[in-house]
């Protein structure tokens, strides 16, 4: 597993725990209310679990596991592009989560834009690796 994938996957595991913590607090509060303002955590829960955990894990595993032979620069594509996607995605997750929780729509918008840019950078980097390996007939 390349270094950038390890960072993607470890960050994803961190968001899994943080996102589940926010979700558990919201669900407990729904059943046995203990903090009236807790509903503001919903954007944090959604952003951390959907993008921070799920999308990030897929990005890390795809960078690691897709076919590698004949890709220019390095076996995993451009390392700089991988790190740029990692930085954009994680900056975007925090901006979107905090923007949503704090009621600052411009911050949330910037976060979502950074997440979309991360996906674009990663897709461009991985695109040449989406091809037949020569081992399977399908």
Interface residues with other proteins (CB under 8 A)?
1-3, 6, 9-10, 13-14, 16-17, 20-21, 23-28, 30-32, 49-50, 53-54, 57
CB 34 within 8 A of CB 53: no
CB 88 within 8 A of CB 118: yes
Q: Which one, 33 or 37, has the nearer CB to other proteins? A: 33
Residue pointed to by tokens 């091809």: 131
Shortest approach of other proteins to residue 8 CB, angstroms? 9
Shortest approach of other proteins to residue 38 CB, angstroms? 12
Chain centroid to Cα 93, Å, comes to 7
Helix ranges (DSSP H) in the chain: 3-31, 42-47, 56-65, 79-102, 105-126
Q: Which one, 17 or 116, has the nearer CB to other proteins? A: 17
Q: Which one, 50 or 71, has the nearer CB to other proteins? A: 50
Shortest approach of other proteins to residue 68 CB, angstroms? 14
């Amino acid at each position: 597993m390349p270094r950038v994938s390890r960072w993607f996957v470890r960050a994803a595991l961190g968001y899994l725990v943080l996102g589940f913590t926010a979700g558990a607090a919201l669900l407990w509060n729904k059943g046995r209310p203990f903090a009236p303002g807790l509903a503001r955590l919903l954007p944090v829960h959604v952003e951390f679990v959907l993008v921070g955990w799920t999308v990030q894990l897929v990005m890390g595993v795809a960078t690691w596991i897709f076919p590698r032979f004949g890709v220019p620069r390095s076996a995993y594509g451009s390392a700089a592009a991988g790190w740029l996607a990692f930085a954009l995605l994680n900056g975007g997750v925090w901006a979107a989560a905090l923007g949503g929780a704090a009621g600052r729509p411009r911050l949330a918008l910037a976060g979502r834009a950074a997440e979309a840019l991360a996906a674009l950078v990663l897709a461009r980097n991985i695109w040449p690796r989406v091809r037949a390996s020569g081992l399977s007939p399908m």
